[in-house]
Structure 1
Amino acid sequence: MPNCLRGIAASLTLLVAGLGLPSQAEAYRLPQLNFSESEKAMVAEEAFGVHRREAIAVDAVFSRSQMLNWEQHRTRNLSQKEKKAVQTWKRLASKLEYWTYVAGLKKVLLEISRTPSPAIDREADRLAKRVVDTLYELSHEYRIVGTPRLQNVLIKLGIRRKGYCYHYTDALRQVLHLEPWYFYAFHWAEAYGGTRRESNSLAITFKESPFETGVVIDAWRSGSRPFWHAVKDDHWPWKEAFDVLPQE
């Protein structure tokens, strides 16, 4: 049985807590974002830089920690500037988080490429966006409410349909199959195969590079949030099960 199916009994108490606090459970999911066409057309580094500069400017007026403290205690009335800053933070925070994921994954994808070029940069940008976008969508499709093991319990009880490790892997495989990829290859990665600890994830390598040089996208481990780790450095002993897409 895959590792991502374990821990059922240990999570029962979390299940009770999660079902009893629906607002907190929903807050665990990744936000649904609406981007303009111009925003989506921006390369990851540019978009991250724009949102980060705006965050720095707002932080100088009313820091995010101040806002969170105020929302928790509501001990005073805010000035008009502070009210505007709060609204800006609410609009900005989720987008900054998204672009942090995209820019971070793109950076890793470029690091595993052998000969960086403008064409590889464009494909890495597109690939990073596609992976992160898909995981944001799956967070809602799978109706994630908490930790991976809590999601497993909900599936076992019939309250949720999906959210196991191989669900994420297969969903990413299907999405990536819809587009041409000239520089990157995709693999079904498996750790502890054939044992009760078995786990699955998508691995990305530069084409014709060894599997061990790639990066695993293990969204189950992070409860649908974008998470990646170098194959060779992860504490899970990943091995290639098969190519997700045929090599061209």
Structure 2
Amino acid sequence: MTTRRGMILGLGGMALLAGCGGAPAPGGTVSGVAGLERAILGLGPDVDPAEAARAARMAYAVSDQLAREYEITDPPLVHNTKVNLGIKERGLCYHWARDIQTRMTAARYATLQFTGLVANADNPFLLEHSTAVVIPRGGDWRRGIVLDPWRTGGRLHWDHVANDTKYNWKARADVPVRKRGDGPDLTRADT
């Protein structure tokens, strides 16, 4: 009994230390592809309507594809624990952020670009969280739209950066390299 209790407490503790932010806040913008398309189109007058539609469809499709690739069957912090224990290979928030950014960028949009954001990197009391953001080409990430399927266990959560008050976002490029996790450094929006 003591061993079982210790194991449960240990796994619980590891879940808290697993990296990425806490459980998703209720609400948020989850109005589907059409809603995301309208939001992307609303980023500015130079956003091509066909690209807004394609990016919205692709953001949902990539999120679904990554959920299958990462074998997501648990809430985010439980999955993080499995990754950190070596049971699963990928699925931490920065995996999601980088993979979405990479795949969306590879689709070559003329009027949109994708970059990464990080929250809580400077706060030792909060868990760090990473996400991707879509902005008009040459635009300010602060006016972009967060694309974050990690926080909802593989279903795309999106919201305007300004409305996503659960996190204090910073551009990934502005976070010291040692705080960004491992893997390739995707700091430029056009990479």
- Asked if 2 retains the 8 angstrom alpha-carbon contact of 1:192 and 1:199, the reply is yes
Deviation digits for residues 136-168 of structure 1 (CA, Å, limit 9, x no counterpart): 111111111121011012112221111110000
**How many matched pairs?**
151
Q: What SS does the aligned partner of 2:106 have?
A: coil
Alignment match, 1:170: 98
Separation in structure 1 between the aligned mates of residue 46 and residue 102 of structure 2, nearest angstrom: 28
Alignment match, 1:246: 190
By percentage of residues, which structure has more helix? 1
Q: What SS does the aligned partner of 2:190 have?
A: coil
Structure 1 residue 114 corresponds to structure 2 residue 37: no
Deviation at 1:209, TM superposition (A): 2.3
- Asked if 1 retains the 8 angstrom alpha-carbon contact of 2:46 and 2:111, the reply is no
Matches within 5 A, 1:1-248: 9=12, 101-115=32-46, 120-196=48-124, 197-235=127-165, 236-242=167-173, 243-246=187-190
Separation in structure 2 between the aligned mates of residue 208 and residue 169 of structure 1, nearest angstrom: 20
Structure with the greater alpha carbon radius of gyration: 1
Separation in structure 2 between the aligned mates of residue 165 and residue 175 of structure 1, nearest angstrom: 15
- Unaligned segments of structure 2, at least 5 residues: 1-9, 16-30, 174-186
Separation in structure 2 between the aligned mates of residue 216 and residue 8 of structure 1, nearest angstrom: 30
Percent of pairs with identical residues: 25
TM-score normalized by structure 1? 0.56
- Unaligned segments of structure 1, at least 5 residues: 1-6, 13-99
- Asked if 2 retains the 8 angstrom alpha-carbon contact of 1:114 and 1:206, the reply is no
- Asked if 1 retains the 8 angstrom alpha-carbon contact of 2:11 and 2:81, the reply is yes
TM-score normalized by structure 2? 0.71
Q: What SS does the aligned partner of 2:90 have?
A: coil
Letter in structure 1 aligned against 2:56: A
Separation in structure 1 between the aligned mates of residue 36 and residue 105 of structure 2, nearest angstrom: 19
Aligned alpha-carbon RMSD (Å): 2.2
Deviation digits for residues 198-217 of structure 1 (CA, Å, limit 9, x no counterpart): 21100111122222111111
Deviation at 1:191, TM superposition (A): 0.9
Separation in structure 1 between the aligned mates of residue 42 and residue 13 of structure 2, nearest angstrom: 39
Letter in structure 1 aligned against 2:190: P
Q: What SS does the aligned partner of 2:34 have?
A: helix
Deviation at 1:194, TM superposition (A): 3.7
Name whichever of 224-233 and 186-195 sits farther off.
186-195
- Asked if 2 retains the 8 angstrom alpha-carbon contact of 1:152 and 1:163, the reply is yes
Separation in structure 1 between the aligned mates of residue 39 and residue 121 of structure 2, nearest angstrom: 26
Change beyond 3 A, Cα 1:211–1:177? closer
Change beyond 3 A, Cα 1:209–1:174? closer
